Chain A
């Protein structure tokens, strides 16, 4: 590999990717951070008022809709975590009972193949206060059930969570199934030989063994929650009122509907900060895992 041409071609081939990274990612992030310090409204202004450079952030944290967005982000995160639990239960059952494995897998994963706009459309229809599931339940006498969750601000977020869990459980099931399959089969036969009850086997042995899978799922879920936008648009459009605002929706709303560039940039920077807070443990985890497998001389 000491030939001259073989030294330069790879670098040349990397040029497009390096340019894209430098301009569209690094450059763009710096640009947005800069804009968040300016007073830009509809059009960018590049003068920074140094007496008050953080004024957009001050405004952001005084904004009620942003407070709602952050609260909803946490609610959505905690609620969607059910998808991991549900995914694990499904995976454990499919793993134990081999019959029908591929059929169940296919059914549990198909929501992932369709657009979140389609998912939102379907659930919006199921939650329809006039003709939806509520109406169907009321007509068979279950009139005490309230299922038009999307029409009131208090319950709308739970409707979004239900749709999100429906959409993503299959994904976590697939990850968990991969994790379960990598567990040494001797554990199962040893446990059976020993008559350890299943509950204890899972809580004390299997789940601790799968902690990396769980952490990975949790991080992927958190990153997905921050990006949640499509499903909100399709199901509630942020409403009723502003009750289903999330940061991703808030930011785009500030930019496109309110035309407030500096303010939207500040919200976007906060989204980046939240992502970084979640992302940091992932980097440390990967580094730690690599060191660990390196030491074990895999």
Chain B
């Protein structure tokens, strides 16, 4: 608030100095400044779209046309050859079964990760926000710190632990590590959401002899629709887009799609098939892009909530 008053004072001072009154025009027609701004923003928009455009058109080209070198020109012949090749027979290491392997691994990783991470964080957030837990403050602070810990410092211990419980190298290992790493941030998000629930509701519910779990299922869960969808989108995209956890814990057989893509583009023997690479990149990007274009607002809410509260 103090910033605001200072600014108002400064502006007030300016008003006093300048005596000539100035009345703004009614802005109905487009001014020159508006046009300049729109042109600038459009140029920026083109800069943002160029990589996507190039990736899309390259994925539909033949290698012959790519070798001609005109990167920005449209395909002479639109072909789905590269899409088919990337999906069915692109190589990731020694396996040449395409990205479909990684796709199904990613799907198998996604669901247990979502259930585990959201389940545990939701209940933790609920307990911390609405029930009297004496050490809640300290624990929240600890979670806040954990949310920022770089993955590398817990990487080797987590490998040892997942190996000890026999999940290292399969989808469960990846899913559990996702849940562990997401838990601090998600708990903080849920806790911040639940703490705004009026205490009266909780008191009434407790009077009504509602137990911890009964209140959660009958009152809190129906109230969490909004936050649940935001967190769900945040988690789906971040799990899908993850590379590091997948490559570390996926072993040989359970690598997610991003790992297959990285292997395809970095370890290439013989001539690189750029159209395959681009098709593979698009196939990996399509699920989160679809989510983004349909529910972009919720996606943005999720990442900003995750970044700021986390």
Contacts and interface: CB of A to CB of B under 8 A. Distances in A.
A158 interface: no
A132 B71 contact: yes
Interface stretch (B76-84, B167-175, B223-231, B290-298): B290-298
Nearest to B281: A121
A171 interface: yes
Interface string B247-281: 01000000000100110011000000010011011
A125 B72 CA distance: 12
Contact of B148 (A114, A125, A255, A275): A275
A284 B83 CA distance: 51
Contacts of B274: 125, 128, 131
> A interface, by DSSP: helix, strand, loop or mixed?
helix
B38 A115 contact: no
B258 A117 contact: yes
A136 B41 contact: no
Contacts of A13: 123-124, 126-127, 212
B262 A234 contact: yes
B41 A93 contact: yes
Interface string A269-291: 10110010001000000000000
B124 A107 contact: no
B128 interface: yes
Contacts of A35: 156
Contacts of A123: 51
Contacts of A242: none
B292 A113 contact: yes
Nearest to B203: A1
A8 to B, nearest CB: 9
Contacts of B146: 21, 25
Nearest to B244: A229
Nearest to B53: A122
Nearest to A200: B14
B286 to A, nearest CB: 9
Interface residues of B, number: 106
Interface in A1-43: 1, 3, 5-6, 9-11, 13-14, 16-18, 20-21, 23-29, 31-32, 35
A74 interface: no
A139 B70 contact: yes
A216 B145 CA distance: 16
B75 to A, nearest CB: 14
Interface string B200-211: 000100100001
Nearest to B179: A20
B120 interface: yes
A178 B38 contact: no
Contacts of B49: 107
A234 B41 contact: no
A28 B153 contact: yes
A255 B155 contact: yes
Nearest to B128: A14
A38 B50 CA distance: 50
A110 interface: yes
Interface string A196-230: 10000000110011000000100010010011011
B154 A25 contact: yes
Interface in A165-198: 166, 170-171, 174-175, 178, 184, 186-187, 190-196
B38 A136 contact: no
A57 interface: no
B2 to A, nearest CB: 8
B113 interface: no
A164 B262 CA distance: 17
Nearest to A186: B8
B255 to A, nearest CB: 12
B222 interface: no
Contact of B303 (A17, A44, A171, A216): A171
B161 interface: yes
A237 interface: yes
Contacts of A226: 150
B212 A114 contact: no
A102 B78 CA distance: 32
A17 B4 contact: no
Given A113-B292, A114-B289, A272-B149, 18 more contacts: A1-B206, A6-B211, A10-B132, A44-B156, A96-B37, A100-B38, A109-B296, A110-B293, A111-B51, A115-B261, A117-B258, A118-B285, A121-B280, A135-B71, A171-B307, A187-B4, A194-B14, A251-B152
Interface of B: 1-4, 7-8, 10-11, 14-15, 18, 21-24, 34, 37-38, 40-41, 44-45, 47-52, 54-55, 58, 66-67, 69-72, 120-121, 123-124, 126-128, 131-133, 139, 142-143, 145-146, 148-158, 160-161, 180, 183-184, 187, 203, 206, 211-213, 237, 240-244, 248, 258, 261-262, 265-266, 274, 277-278, 280-282, 284-285, 288-289, 291-293, 296, 299-300, 303-304, 307-308
5 contacts: A135-B69, A136-B69, A171-B307, A272-B150, A275-B148
